[in-house]
Amino acid sequence: MADRRCSLPEHDLTLHLVSGKHTSAEGIRYFQSLDPSCATRWLSYFDSTVDMARLDIASAPEIKRAIVEKRRELFGEHAKPYAIVCESERSRQYFFEFWSRYFVGPDAHAENLRCFHSLEEAYDWLELSQAGRAAVARAIEDWETARARDDRESPAAARDGPNP
């Protein structure tokens, strides 16, 4: 589900960077793949290109189960905070109107999950230091730069680009 995972242990943070189209199966596989290095606070950043249309609503219980099981495995009964920032209106609709209401219950550590409209709001809720905020900003900038470069260099970009 995330295009890139950045481990920032010096800030007690795992940053999940997400863009483009996603399926339910990708989301499940992503959360199942998290390892002990991710036993930190989580910040998922969904950029403006995120398209949640391929997420199958019937798979929501399986996605929730994958997240709950991984959080229980990594944190036991004391889960660390999980902040989600949505840049696009479509991902905001998904997370604010559906996911945050669905992802409730004592087994889900819902008190430790919040959705935000901006990184600043998430930083404040996570009580992230200035150095941590700067590290996240650098990681996002590096990721966006790499994606832009990859888009320019991809065969599809060359094929769909202007004809000299």
Side-chain-side CA neighbours of residue 31 (13 Å): 20
Q: What residues does 46 pair with on adjacent strands?
A: 18, 86
Instruction: Quote the domain boundaries for residue 18.
Output: 4-160
- Asked if residues 48 and 85 have their Cβ atoms less than 8 Å apart, the reply is no
DSSP per-residue string spanning 16-53: EEE-SB--HHHHHHHHHH--GGG-SEEEEEE-TT-B-T
Q: Indicate which CATH number applies to the domain containing 37.
A: 3.30.750.24
Q: How many domains does the chain have?
A: 1
Would you write out the chain's pLDDT as a tens digit for each of its 164 residues?
458 899 999 999 999 999 988 888 888 999 999 999 999 999 999 998 888 878 888 888 898 889 888 988 999 888 899 999 998 887 887 787 777 777 666 555 566 888 899 999 999 999 999 999 999 999 999 999 988 887 788 765 444 444 33
pTM score of the predicted model: 0.84
- Token pair, residue 61, equals 């219980």
Contacts of 64 (CB under 8 A, 6+ apart): 102, 103, 108
